Amino acid sequence: MERLIGTVSRGIRAPIIRSGDDIVKITVESVLKALESENIHIQDKDIISLTEAIVARAQGNYASVDDIASDIKALFGSDEIGLVFPIMSRNRFASCLKGFARGMKKLYLLMSFPADEVGNHLVDLDALDEKGINPWSDVLSEADFRTSFGFPGHRFTGIDYIAYYKSIVEAENCEVEIVLANDPRAILKYTKNVLACDVHTRKRTMRLLKNAGGEQVYGLEDCLKKPVGKSGYNEDFGLLGSNKATEESVKLFPRNCAKVVESIQEEIFQKTGKKVEV
């Protein structure tokens, strides 16, 4: 018979995942029960997908803000560092920033403009044109930015991320100086110890900083590569992929993911005889 239906995607309802749960068992049981309830027949090459969030949650891969503070202090062995190109996100970066501030006496925060790497805008590009500011060559202090643009908020949330990030740092009794530029090397005027906080462009950022005289240059993947006490960690990604769990903790990217997906694949094969992709 001619095949008339293409790819079909189905969401599987599973129990609430808690730290210590067997994510392999829960996944296999949830999928097979769902298939049985809808009289769906699993086939070779069908795909079972899990979010990284539920895998990390089952692993209990969490770290506290204090853990971040301890790790960043140990990583640099200094009480002053520069942070370059953080994304503007309450979920993805604010808790990390709190930890960095808690572990330091002073932060130099270099923010890209008019937007971060994922498109969150501090200011409209048209506004730069009106003020005659070249984002590729000009370096602005916080005062320069305020003089030209005032206190603009994010177009959807209304948050002024310069003020927001400044308040987070100062709440930890840490001094902060904010600079706006799109050349990461601008931070080297203030400090030679730099943490690249961008994600997709971090390797280029670190290369530029090192070649321009940066002495200690790291990325988010270098933070929490090992546990601090009994904290979570990720030996490959560190703080990359982390997000806020509570006011005082973050959930890290899961570990040993290959073992998880291979175990699910094997369990499904043992129970159904089908070789699925996970």
Find out whether 252 and 233 touch, Cβ atoms under 8 Å. Answer: yes
Q: Convert the pLDDT of each residue in 44-87 to its tens digit.
A: 999 999 999 999 999 999 999 999 999 999 999 999 999 999 99
> Amino acid identity of 45?
K
> Amino acid identity of 129?
D
CA distance 192 to 187: 8
pTM: 0.92
CA distance 123 to 115: 7
* Count of residues making up the chain: 278
Tens of pLDDT along the chain (278 residues) come to: 677 888 889 999 999 999 999 999 999 999 999 999 999 999 999 999 999 999 999 999 999 999 999 999 999 999 999 999 999 999 999 999 999 999 999 999 999 999 999 999 999 999 999 999 999 999 999 999 999 999 988 888 889 999 999 999 999 999 999 999 999 999 999 999 999 999 999 999 999 999 999 999 999 999 999 999 999 999 999 999 999 999 999 999 999 999 999 999 999 999 999 999 99
What is the secondary structure of the chain as a DSSP string? ----------PPP-PPP-TT--HHHHHHHHHHHHHHHHTPPP-TT-B----HHHHHHHHT-EEEHHHHHHHHHHHH-SSEEEEE-----TTTTHHHHHHHHHH-SEEEEEE-SSB-TTS-BSS-HHHHHHHT--TTT--EEHHHHHHHH-SPPPTTT---HHHHHHHHHHHTT-EEEEEE-S-GGGGGGT-SEEEE--STTHHHHHHHHHHTT-SEEEEGGGTTSS-STT----TTTTTTT-EEEETTEEEPPPS-HHHHHHHHHHHHHHHHS---B-
CA distance 95 to 62: 12
CA distance 257 to 211: 34
Find out whether 193 and 76 touch, Cβ atoms under 8 Å. Answer: yes
Q: Among 51, 67, 58, 53, which Cα is nearest to 225's?
A: 67
Q: First-to-last CA distance in the chain?
A: 28
**Long-range pairs of 48-51 with CB within 8 A, sequence gap ≥ 24:** 48/264, 48/268, 48/276, 48/277, 48/278, 49/278, 50/23, 50/260, 50/261, 50/264, 50/278
In terms of Cβ atoms closer than 10 Å to its own Cβ (0-12, 13-18, 19+), residue 34 is middle
Dihedral of CA atoms 77, 73, 201, 150 in degrees, nearest 10, equals -110
Q: Convert the pLDDT of each residue in 144-175 to its tens digit.
A: 999 999 998 888 888 999 999 999 999 999 99
Find out whether 48 and 275 touch, Cβ atoms under 8 Å. Answer: no
